[in-house]
Amino acid sequence: MTNISLGRKLGHALIYAVLILTTVAILYPVMWIVSGSLNPGDSLFTTRFIPESISFVHYQYLFNETDYPLWYWNTFKIAFWNMILSTILVVTAAYAFSRFRFPGRKQGLMAMLVLQMFPSFMGMIAIYILLLQVNLLDNHWGLILVYAGGSIPFGAWLVKGYFDGIPRSLEEAAKIDGASDVKIFYKIMMPLSTPILVFIAVTNFIGPWMDFIFARLVLRSDEKKTLAVGLFEMITGRANTEFTNFAAGAVLVAVPITILFFIFQDHLVNGLKAGANKG
């Protein structure tokens, strides 16, 4: 018994040590960036981890001397509308695959599964040509439509697994009472699926918010730039003189995502567990 107790204590100590090291490895760069954004200097190499004096000059520079507010608004608009459109497409597709039987259903599910095996950048040339043909290059809606379409395979599989775990007896009882499929979807399935819906909505908001590669490919004009593109160009070809301003911009980029995680953390955890258990 003593050896077993000692082994458990050593195991717990090892787990806590790994967790502490992981936390430090994650938080240290974050704290360094926050500290750099509050230091008055121009280089992160001379930044003190704990600033001698806190200065908001870099934040003032972003709002007064750059198009940062415009980049922020563009990114928010793209992320918001992608969240709305993606959630609608994912949930309706998942409900159809979960509750209805129709020709091509298995092939459709298999196609979505196969599509997840390939990295998204493999189709960028084809998407670029397609957007060029439909006149959606340098257009935020071009980004939104591509983001929304790309979210369907993974999201539909995840939400379908959740829908499969909801008893069909609830829908059968509603049909006996005269409810249509549309009414069942909105009145029964949607309220019961809040955790997975919140998870899908938040992840589809975060995706465009953090994306750089595709936005860089599609957007050309200055008034269309997103945060990732604008901040990248701020530090490109300037002999490392804008990195503290970049740090301030990066801190502000993280604010909405942090708020979303704090507000919806319970739903996000429940959505992940439900998608895993009911798949």
Domain definitions of the chain by residue range = 2-46, 65-277
The pLDDT score that the predictor gives to residue 198 is 87
Tokens representing 96 are 């159809």
- pLDDT tens-place string over residues 1-35: 466 677 777 888 888 999 999 998 888 888 888 88
End-to-end CA separation in angstroms for the chain: 40
Q: Which CATH number fits domain 65-277: 3.90.79.10, 1.10.3720.10, 3.40.710.10, 1.20.1250.20?
A: 1.10.3720.10
Strongest mean pLDDT among 64-73, 112-121, 255-264? 64-73
Q: How confident is the model at residue 278 (pLDDT cuts 50, 70, 90)?
A: very low
Q: What is the DSSP letter of 61?
A: H
E strands in 106-223 = none
The pLDDT score that the predictor gives to residue 77 is 94
More confident residue, 76 or 178: 76
Q: Provide the whole-model pTM.
A: 0.83
Closest CA to 139 of 149, 130, 126: 130
Tokens representing 50 are 């704990």
The pLDDT score that the predictor gives to residue 277 is 47
Mean per-residue pLDDT over the chain, rounded: 83
User: What distance in Å separates the CA atoms of residue 252 and residue 246, rounded to the nearest whole number?
Assistant: 10
Q: How confident is the model at residue 271 (pLDDT cuts 50, 70, 90)?
A: low
User: What distance in Å separates the CA atoms of residue 245 and residue 41, rounded to the nearest whole number?
Assistant: 10
Q: What is the DSSP letter of 211?
A: -
For 138, residues 6+ apart whose C-beta sits below 8 A from its C-beta are 218, 219, 220, 221, 224
User: What distance in Å separates the CA atoms of residue 146 and residue 206, rounded to the nearest whole number?
Assistant: 15
